Amino acid sequence: MRLILHKLVLAFMLLWLWFSSFIHVDAADDSLKPGDTLNSSSQLYSKSRTYYLQLFNYLEISSVYDDTVVWVGNREQSVNQSTADLSLNFSGVLKIESESLKKPIILYSPPQPINNTVATLLDTGNFVLQHLHSNGTNTLLWQSFDYPFATLIPTMKLGVNHKTGHRWLLYTQLTYGSAAPGAFSLEWEPRGQELMIRRRGKVCWKSGKLRNNRFEHIPEEAQGVLKYSIVSNGDEDTFSFTSTNENITHFWSLSGTGRLSYNYEEGYVARADLCYGYNNTEGGCQRWQDIPKCRIPGDVFTKKSLRSNYQNVTFDNDKNISYSDCEAACWSDCNCNGFTEIYDDGSGCIFYQWNSSKDYIVDATVSGEDIYLLENKGNIIAHRHGTKRWIWISPVIATSLLILCASILCLAIKKRKHVLQEKKRKEMSLIEDFGNDLNKKHGLKVLDYTLVVAATNEFSSDNKLGQGGFGPVYKVWELWKDDKYFELVDPSLNEVFDHEEVQRCIHIGLLCVEHYANDRPTMSDIISILTSKSPIVSLPLKPAFYIQRYMYNENLSSLELCTGSTVEITSSTIEMTTST
Ligand SMILES: *[C@@H]1O[C@H](CO)[C@@H](O)[C@H](O)[C@H]1NC(C)=O
Ligand SMILES: *[C@@H]1O[C@H](CO)[C@@H](O)[C@H](O)[C@H]1NC(C)=O
Ligand SMILES: *[C@@H]1O[C@H](CO)[C@@H](O)[C@H](O)[C@H]1NC(C)=O
Ligand SMILES: *[C@@H]1O[C@H](CO)[C@@H](O)[C@H](O)[C@H]1NC(C)=O
Ligand SMILES: *[C@@H]1O[C@H](CO)[C@@H](O)[C@H](O)[C@H]1NC(C)=O
Ligand SMILES: *[C@@H]1O[C@H](CO)[C@@H](O)[C@H](O)[C@H]1NC(C)=O
Ligand SMILES: *[C@@H]1O[C@H](CO)[C@@H](O)[C@H](O)[C@H]1NC(C)=O
Ligand SMILES: *[C@@H]1O[C@H](CO)[C@@H](O)[C@H](O)[C@H]1NC(C)=O
Ligand SMILES: *[C@@H]1O[C@H](CO)[C@@H](O)[C@H](O)[C@H]1NC(C)=O
Ligand SMILES: *[C@@H]1O[C@H](CO)[C@@H](O)[C@H](O)[C@H]1NC(C)=O
């Protein structure tokens, strides 16, 4: 049986969106004519349905294939989706308006009013505004490809237009929650004829020269199906690619850590996240002059789960900085040994300072607090514990366990066939959608980026589990409490399921994320509950982080609050003893 992660309401909503896209937009499915508006109940689809455009908090173009957002129109300023619309008016002005905005976000405004225009989403994923002439020809007025987001898609250019001086480059998203430009950029460097990743202006990585359609520092598998197109003339110096196999979609996405991935994190094109400026320039990393004396080659940040005996914590609650800024700041400060983000969306920094490695315990089998710890590769002291193997599971991981284990366990009992049909990725994206949906509709906070990475790394390389991670738990608990747990069941089961069994699975899942370890069932308890029909004695309480996620707030001003909540989170780890 496939449990959940999918809400009936959501399904209906999507269906309705679908319908409304035909009802409300008085235009072809793929374009806006003057006078047309597009709001959150409608979408534009490109002619062959390869991409779609929609307006929620952001105006987004996404791939139909897997819903990856490839372009965002209003990066700097999100809007309130309940009142926002995109319109093309009779003056040829393409704009986003919302009650939450003082003035509209103008995507394009012609020097003189033009009344015969059309805005079309093309099959390449390019959203273009054209002037239609009476002789049947068109002129391009504006195109989304001129304002890249964090993803490079086939035929989209990087480089510079010498005529207008316009530069095309990708910028990472600042945080999970904000599309605003972050620290890393991907650029085409015309003089060297190579690709380059910068972090806040500083060059971290270079692709090396192109020979035989291959860049020196890009792995073969990442460029195997690509055909590069480099244009260098008086008009422009640009780079773009196409896929030689039309059936394989190929995108390059630049993440907030500086990693350039292809095809939804399947593999990497560049690992600027591993570049620290040391002399070792393997893989295209660049050397920097300003390396602090206290840092030596091999010093790198590694995500660790650790328990701390003593720590000195400082923080920077600037919401305009995120992961890589924290990393850079910690790396340049010789007192800093580790960092993590403050806010749920991954912004702000907490810096850790330990007097010595005796102040904390790191163990591969220990999962405590997730911190990016500065260590020297090859010089890591292994801490081992006695005969018992302890597995500490943080609430986040437990959350994922709740979701994954509950489905898996129920599956094992029912042996229904269709669960494994979909890829893991699809499930992850469902979880994410679920979270987004909750966030949009109920304003519920969703998961902290660092925690996301932690949770997903435990189970999958796909760190997109992310945003929604906590969402389902809030919701599950709420629904369970209101006796509406059946809403969690996949609608495709058409109500054909054993209510008691579903209730049992959800109940167990909730018990697994209890605040106090003593309240949580052991693995053997779980198995006995699942295999017997006897009623479950203990009732789940509200999940711990239901409240705790709000502990960090904007007015964060005292160290106590910071360390206090750290302790809170650490103390809510659970123990599972496995016999060795
Ligand atoms: C979108 O526009 C249509 C037609 O103008 C309107 O009926 C509908 O309520 C709008 N939806 C939202 C969410 O504003
Ligand atoms: C968005 O607008 C609606 C209706 O005006 C309002 O109820 C809601 O609080 C707004 N949401 C945000 C996040 O401002
Ligand atoms: C189109 O929008 C622009 C910008 O908001 C406005 O100045 C102009 O008057 C509008 N034109 C028409 C015909 O409504
Ligand atoms: C566009 O401009 C032409 C000529 O100025 C005018 O005849 C026509 O009515 C305008 N169309 C619209 C839809 O306003
Ligand atoms: C069509 O009309 C536009 C504007 O009137 C003009 O710039 C263009 O050269 C014309 N094209 C042809 C093929 O006549
Ligand atoms: C792409 O898929 C179609 C239909 O499955 C197939 O006919 C075609 O040969 C494929 N093209 C390539 C390059 O693999
Ligand atoms: C790195 O290279 C620079 C210049 O080549 C050299 O001066 C420096 O000593 C090197 N540092 C290390 C740690 O090898
Ligand atoms: C904490 O770190 C700051 C900055 O390095 C330092 O000034 C302060 O003395 C430290 N406090 C303790 C208690 O170690
Ligand atoms: C964050 O960035 C926004 C927009 O770039 C700016 O308005 C704001 O002042 C910045 N805030 C801080 C604390 O730097
Ligand atoms: C760490 O160093 C600070 C400052 O020197 C000192 O106050 C503190 O007691 C030390 N903590 C431990 C656990 O040694």
Which segments of the chain belong to CATH 3.50.4?
Answer: 291-381
Does the structure show a pLDDT above 80 at 511? no
**pTM, entire model:** 0.67
First-to-last C-alpha distance (Å) of the chain:
32
What pLDDT does 16 receive? 41
DSSP state, 410?
H
Taking residues 492-505, report their average pLDDT.
66
CATH 2.90.10.10 residue ranges for the chain: 24-147
Q: 3-class SS at 389?
A: strand
Give the per-residue SS3 of 202-241.
EEEEECCCEECCEECCCCHHHHCCEEEEEEECCCEEEEEE
489 vs 296: CA distance, rounded Å: 53
Supply φ then ψ for residue 398, to 5 degrees: -60, -35
Query: Ligand 2 pocket test: which of 56, 82, 440 has the largest number of ligand atoms within 8 Å of its C-beta?
Result: 82
494 backbone φψ class: left, alpha, beta (φ>0; ψ -120 to 50)? left
**What are the CA-CA distances from residue 367 to residues 377, 502, 526, 551 (Å)?**
20, 29, 21, 21
Of 86-95, 180-189, 399-408, least confident by mean pLDDT is: 399-408
Res 77: pLDDT = 92
| pLDDT, position 572 | 29
pLDDT at 540: 56
Q: Tell the residue nearest (CA) to atom 2 of ligand 8.
A: 312
Tell me what the mean pLDDT of segment 244-260 comes to: 88
Reduced to 3 states, what is the DSSP secondary structure of residue 168?
strand
Q: For atom 13 of ligand 2, which residue has the closest CA? A: 80
pLDDT at 69 over 70: yes
Instruction: Inform me whether the pLDDT recorded for 206 exceeds 90.
Output: yes
| Sign of CA pseudo-dihedral 479, 480, 483, 484 | positive
pLDDT band with cut points at 50, 70 and 90 for residue 306: confident
Phi, psi of 224 (to 5 degrees): -50, -45
pLDDT tens digit sequence for 447-463: 333 333 333 333 333 33
At residue 280, the pLDDT reads 81
State the average pLDDT over residues 148-168.
96
Instruction: Give me the half-sphere count of Cα atoms (radius 13 Å) on the Cβ side of residue 541.
Output: 10
The string of DSSP letters for 283-342 reads: GGBPP-S---TT--TTEEEEEEEEEESS-EEEEE--TT-BHHHHHHHHHH-TT--EEEE-
356 lines ligand 7 (CB under 6 A): no
What is the rounded CA–CA span in Å between residue 61 and residue 34? 20
Predicted confidence at residue 559, as pLDDT, reads 28
Judged by its nearest atom, the ligand closest to the C-alpha of residue 249 is 6
- 269: amino acid identity, one letter: V
65 pLDDT exceeds 70? yes
Of 173, 320, 151, whose CA–CA distance to 256 is shortest? 173
Nearby residues of 541 by Cβ (< 8 Å), 6 or more positions away: 514, 515, 519
Ligand 5: residue whose CA is nearest its atom 14: 135
DSSP string, 505-564: HHHHHHHHT-SSGGGSPPHHHHHHHHHS-SPP-SPP---THHHHTTSS-TT---HHHHHH
In this predicted model, what pLDDT tens digit does every residue of 307-317 receive, in sequence order? 877 778 999 99
How far does CA 260 lie from the centroid of its chain? Answer: 13
Superfamily of domain 24-147: Bulb-type lectin domain (2.90.10.10)
Residue with the bigger pLDDT between 443 and 329: it is 329
Share of residues in the chain with pLDDT > 70 (%): 59
Ligand located closest to 244 CA: 6
Q: Is 355 in the pocket of ligand 8 (CB under 6 A)?
A: no
Q: Tell me the CA distances in angstroms from 171 to 75, 199, 254, 260, one per residue in order.
A: 10, 10, 7, 11
Give the C-alpha separation, 285 to 198, whole Å: 11
Q: Which of 343, 478, 496, 511 is nearest to 414 (CA)?
A: 496
For residue 200, give the amino acid letter: R
CB atoms within 10 A of CB 166: 12
Per-residue pLDDT tens for 227-245? 999 999 999 999 999 998 8
In this prediction, residues 349-377 reach a mean pLDDT of 81
CB 229 within 8 A of CB 218: no
CB neighbourhood size of 131 (10 A)? 17
Of the candidates 525, 531, 536, the one whose C-alpha atom is nearest the C-alpha of residue 576 is 525
Q: What angle do CA 98, 103, 109 make, to 5 degrees?
A: 100
Its sign, for the CA torsion 25, 26, 30, 31, is: negative
Find out whether the beta carbon of 91 lies less than 6 Å from any atom of ligand 4.
Answer: no
pLDDT band at 290 (very low <50, low <70, confident <90, very high): confident
pLDDT reading at 152 higher than 90:
yes
Q: Mean pLDDT for the chain?
A: 72
Among the atoms of ligand 2, which is closest to the Cα of residue 81? 1
Quote the pLDDT of residue 563: 28
**Rounded CA separation 574/258 (Å):** 33
Which tokens in the block code for residue 447? 């998961």
pLDDT given at position 360 = 80
Q: Is the pLDDT of residue 536 over 80?
A: no
**pLDDT top residue among 61 and 527:** 61
Q: Is the pLDDT of residue 537 over 60?
A: no
What residues have CB less than 8 Å from 348, skipping those under 6 apart?
A: 315, 316, 317, 318, 319, 321, 322, 326, 341, 342, 552
- Pairwise CA distance, residues 410 & 210, whole Å: 52
CATH architecture of residue range(s) 291-381: 3-Layer(bba) Sandwich (3.50)
461 CA to centre of ligand 2 in angstroms = 36
In short, whether 245's Cβ falls inside 6 Å of ligand 6 is: yes
pLDDT tens, 415-437?
332 333 333 334 444 445 544 55
144-159 average pLDDT score: 96
Best residue for ligand 7 mutational test, from 278, 279, 288 (most atoms within 8 Å of Cβ): 279
Of the CA atoms within 13 Å of residue 313, those in its CB half-sphere come to 25
**pLDDT top residue among 495 and 257:** 257
- The residue whose CA is least distant from atom 10 of ligand 9 is 320
pLDDT category at 407 given cuts 50, 70, 90 is very low
- Res 464: pLDDT: 31
Residue 497's pLDDT is what?
A: 64
**The pLDDT value given to residue 375:** 87
Torsion from C-alpha of 357, 360, 366, 371, nearest 10 degrees: -90
* Higher local confidence (pLDDT), 263 or 277: 277
User: Which residue, judged by its Cα, is nearest atom 1 of ligand 2?
Assistant: 80
> Which residue has a Cα nearest atom 3 of ligand 10?
355
pLDDT tens-digit map of 211-226: 999 999 999 988 888 9
Maximum mean pLDDT: which of 234-248, 515-529, 559-573: 234-248
Of the residues 171, 317, 319, 320, which should be mutated to test ligand 9's pocket, given the most ligand atoms within 8 Å of the CB?
320
Is the pLDDT higher at 142 or at 520? 142
Q: What band does 46 get if pLDDT is binned at 50, 70 and 90?
A: very high
249 pLDDT higher than 60: yes
